[in-house]
Amino acid sequence: MSAIENKVVMVTGASSGLGKALAVALLDQGARVAATFRRQDQADAFTAGAEGRGLGVVLDVTDAGAVELGVAKVLEQFGRIDVLANNAGAGLVGAIEETSEADAQRLFDVNFFGGLRMIRAVLPAMRAQRSGHILQFSAIGGFTGVAGLGVYAAAKAATDILGEGLAKELAPLGIKTTVLTIGIFETEFAGSSLRYVNAEIDDYKDTPAAAFRGFIGNLQGSQPNDAARGAQAIIQLMAAGEPPVHAALGADAIEVMETKMAAVKQDLRGWESNARSVQKVAA
């Protein structure tokens, strides 16, 4: 028996991309899977094809009532939730100034508050079990600011830090937390599902923000990472007895993380005397 077999895993955002690949791979490895979708026909198809080991749930993470009802259905069906894969998210390309307040709020509602709603809904059951594992699906943009993707990156960074706080709060209760810094995968994130800001400002046309728009617009089909392989890597983390708090997914993610950590260290050392100058002088 594999370490993941018969575990109950709830995967949000399973209609496409990494979430879909993960839900399928988990079923193949004997897990019981509750997968969330935005449409009833998708949920019904997943349930029908899962041979009693899967449950498709219609759930919009921006709807608190739907989240509560969805988690209740999973607990009624399986009696427990061992792992929450907090994958559901949405992106938006544009400079920060070009991003409307309404679009910024929507990004945070899906990427940050949606995940927070899921966490709050599953934690009572996990606390009662004194076990569980929450995986926060962050991204390269959640670890470092990205020109042209700034508000999305900020929402993912909030997701990242939330996971770090959770890890400290939940460890005494036997619940693990892993923050995934996810690289660029061959999914529809850079394709038909990606949204762009409505208003472009001319002053940004020759800046990194505009360059990113061109980069991601031509990325579909040439992403470096494979979703099926990503799913297997995530399952290894789920199966680990002591999973890490931080995990990269993709060589590109490792490179971005190491580059930022080196740059931060360089800034700290270069301005260390200035930083220390604020300390009180002993009387």
User: Facing residues of 177 across strands?
Assistant: 134
Residues whose CB is less than 8 angstroms from the CB of residue 29 and which lie 6 or more positions away in sequence, other chains included: 2, 4, 5, 235
Beta bridge partners of 195: 92
d(CA 108, CA 148): 16
Is 138 one of the annotated active-site residues of the chain? yes
Q: What are phi and psi of 34, to 5 degrees?
A: -105, 115
Question: Given 15, 156, 176, 204, which residue is catalytic?
Answer: 156
User: Which member of 7, 15, 20, 152 is catalytic?
Assistant: 152
Half-sphere exposure of 84 (CA within 13 A, CB side): 31
152 is annotated as an active-site residue: yes
CA angle 161, 105, 120 (to 5 degrees): 50
Residue 91 backbone phi and psi in degrees, to 5: -120, 165
Separation of alpha carbons 180 and 251, rounded Å: 13
239, 240, 244, 246: CA torsion to nearest 10: -30
Question: From CA 156, how far away is CA 169, in angstroms rounded?
Answer: 20
**Residue from 7, 15, 138, 204 carrying the catalytic annotation:** 138
| Catalytic (active site) residue 156 | yes
> b or e along 20-29 (b: 16 or more beta carbons within 10 Å of the residue's beta carbon)?
bbbbbbbbeb
DSSP secondary structure of 192-249: TT-EE-S---GGGTTSHHHHHHHHHHTTTT--SB-HHHHHHHHHHHHH-SS--SEEEE
Catalytically active residues, by annotation:
138, 152, 156
